[in-house]
């Protein structure tokens, strides 16, 4: 159980896909202009990452190495299509906002990367921890990024049609925050903050662990 | 490490085939479960777009019998529907034409509203898959799509001579223009003749 928690926490902190591994950034920067869109993007990624980790890990002994990539892609693409169709049917407004980025989760290197680097080599229970941890790590960062960009870029946060927070009238939102340069700037600060936090809380662990992330769990 | 199936041809074919079969059946089920809802949502979106481009109308009805001649009039632009709009008194007040011109990356499905004289009342884009940040400006750039308001369906080519494309979204802009001109042609060749007969 301690091992499970360690793997789970790693996805959020020292192996965070966005702030540390820096993978899957392009969708992150693109959809983080609105909190509600970012939240559902995060949920979609948690679902796809969690499910594909479970499946890849549970069939790992049946899949020969030479065809592993096509098999991973089919599995990931199926879960993404499930999300795509479900969102289209039940959350049309959010689907319109996320648009092409939902189908593009298929080619998000984060998900294929975890299948290849972790789930294909690890037992199911650890693969679940990794999938959920990585997905949650992704979601936290994208939601924080979107909240900052929406609040300071448009002066208010609107969630599912309701106004959550609004800044006072005298605040003139700089539009650049909603554009791509703003995404990079805010993301840079978040990443720096995460780095500072990681080195402070588990600095030594980062150094020793980073080299043996995969082998760590095998034993 | 756990024992892994060897990369023999049989194992490889079996693994890929089995994965694809399972994936295909799972997707079929999802598709069937969501199909009705998706069609419903699309209808609602279309209805909202028609309401937006045909202000002040009482009811809007699909004019199915006009689709065949209208498709011909639209030429290379895909026609997706023709709608009659009635005012509160029940008299014909205008037309909605749904077209899907080819954009930079796939069709741009949109509705063009025309009044009885063929003057464009509004354009609304329902779905598109243009490049985020560039081509999507055809939807997000404020005031851009209003430039089509007032174009004359009876002589659409004269109206289309002057047209502002968005920098960085030239082909997406041109797609919207092509959609509007196609709707104008549908009006000139089909709807304008229809109007007298309908009353």
pLDDT bucket at B89, cuts 50 / 70 / 90: confident
Tell me the mean pLDDT in the region A26-40.
89
The pLDDT of residue A210: 44
What average pLDDT is seen over chain B? 86
> Is B16–A71 a contact, with Cβ atoms under 8 angstroms apart?
yes
State the total domains in chain A.
Answer: 1
Tell me whether residue B8 is in a domain: no
The pLDDT of residue B195: 64
Domain that holds residue B123: 50-198
Tell me whether residue B58 is in a domain: yes
Domain that holds residue A162: 2-218
With 50 as the cut, is the pLDDT of residue A217 above it? Answer: no
**What tokens were used for B118?**
């063929």
Minimal Cα distance from A69: which residue of B?
A: B16
> What is the rounded distance in angstroms from the CA atom of residue B49 to the CA atom of residue A133?
41
**What tokens were used for A171?**
């605040």
Question: In terms of DSSP H, where are the helices of chain A?
Answer: 2-12, 25-31, 35-58, 68-90, 92-98, 109-117, 124-154, 180-209, 213-218
Tell me whether residue B31 is in a domain: no
User: What is the phi-psi region of residue A22: left when phi exceeds 0, alpha when psi lies from -120 to 50, beta otherwise?
Assistant: left
Cβ of residue A162 closer than 8 Å to a chain B Cβ: no
Q: Name residues whose C-beta falls within 8 Å of residue B43's C-beta, 6 or more positions apart in sequence.
A: none
pLDDT tens profile A82-136: 999 999 888 888 888 887 788 888 888 889 999 999 999 999 999 999 999 999 9
Q: Is the reported ipTM for this assembly greater than 0.85?
A: no
- Measured from the Cβ of residue A109, the count of other Cβ atoms closer than 10 Å reads 14
Closest-CA distance, A100 to chain B, in angstroms, reads: 7
Tell me whether residue B14 is in a domain: no
pLDDT bucket at B178, cuts 50 / 70 / 90: very high
Q: Which of A63, A79, A91 to mutate to test the interface with B (most CBs of B within 10 A)?
A: A63
> What is the rounded distance in angstroms from the CA atom of residue B157 to the CA atom of residue B161?
6
Tell me whether residue B23 is in a domain: no
With 80 as the cut, is the pLDDT of residue B3 above it? Answer: no
With 50 as the cut, is the pLDDT of residue A215 above it? Answer: no
CA dihedral defined by B163, B167, B168, B171, rounded to 10 degrees?
10
The pLDDT of residue A203: 56
CA dihedral defined by B105, B106, B109, B112, rounded to 10 degrees?
60
pLDDT tens profile A182-205: 899 999 999 999 989 888 886 554
Cα dist. B130→A118, B137, B172 in Å?
35, 9, 7
Tell me whether residue B173 is in a domain: yes
Tell me whether residue B57 is in a domain: yes
- Measured from the Cβ of residue A53, the count of other Cβ atoms closer than 10 Å reads 29
pLDDT tens profile B29-74: 999 999 999 899 888 888 888 888 888 777 888 888 888 888 888 8
The pLDDT of residue A109: 86
Question: Higher model confidence: residue B2 or residue B78?
Answer: B78
State the total domains in chain B.
Answer: 1
């Amino acid at each position: 159980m301690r091992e499970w928690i360690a793997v789970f926490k790693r996805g959020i902190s020292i192996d965070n896909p966005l702030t540390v591994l820096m993978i899957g950034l392009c969708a992150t920067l693109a959809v983080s202009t609105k909190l509600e869109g970012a939240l559902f993007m995060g949920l979609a990624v948690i679902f796809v990452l969690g499910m594909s980790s479970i499946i890849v890990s549970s069939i790992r002994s049946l899949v020969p190495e030479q065809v592993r990539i096509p098999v991973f892609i089919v599995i990931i693409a199926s879960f993404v299509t499930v999300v795509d169709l479900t969102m289209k049917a039940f959350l049309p407004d959010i689907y319109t906002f996320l648009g092409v980025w939902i189908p593009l989760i298929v080619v998000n290197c984060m998900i294929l990367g975890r299948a290849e680097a972790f789930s294909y080599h690890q037992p199911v229970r650890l693969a679940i921890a990794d999938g959920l941890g990585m997905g949650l790590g992704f979601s936290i960062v994208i939601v924080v990024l979107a909240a900052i960009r929406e609040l300071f870029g448009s002066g208010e946060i609107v969630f599912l049609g309701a106004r959550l927070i609004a800044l006072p009238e005298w605040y003139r939102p700089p539009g650049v925050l909603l554009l791509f340069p703003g995404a990079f700037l805010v993301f840079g600060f978040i990443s720096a903050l995460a780095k500072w936090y990681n080195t402070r809380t588990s600095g030594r662990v980062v150094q020793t662990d980073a080299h043996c992330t995969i082998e760590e769990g095998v034993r | 490490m756990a024992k892994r199936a060897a990369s023999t041809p049989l194992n490889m074919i079996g693994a890929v085939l089995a994965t694809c079969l399972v994936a295909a059946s799972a997707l079929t089920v999802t598709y069937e479960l969501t199909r009705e809802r998706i069609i419903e949502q699309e209808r609602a979106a279309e209805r909202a777009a028609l309401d937006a481009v045909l202000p002040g109308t009482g009811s809007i009805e699909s004019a199915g019998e006009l689709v065949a001649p209208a498709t011909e009039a639209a030429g290379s632009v895909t026609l997706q529907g023709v709608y009659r709009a009635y005012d509160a008194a029940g008299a014909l007040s205008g037309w909605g034409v749904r077209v899907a011109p080819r954009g930079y990356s796939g069709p741009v499905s949109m509705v063009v509203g025309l009044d009885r004289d063929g003057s464009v009342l509004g354009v609304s884009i329902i779905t598109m898959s243009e490049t985020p940040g560039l081509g999507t400006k055809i939807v997000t750039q404020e005031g851009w799509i209003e430039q089509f308001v007032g174009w004359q369906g009876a002589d659409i080519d004269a109206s289309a001579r002057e047209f502002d494309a968005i920098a960085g979204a030239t082909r997406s802009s041109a797609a919207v223009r092509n959609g509007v001109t196609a709707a104008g042609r549908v009006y000139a060749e089909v709807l304008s003749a229809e109007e007298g007969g309908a009353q």
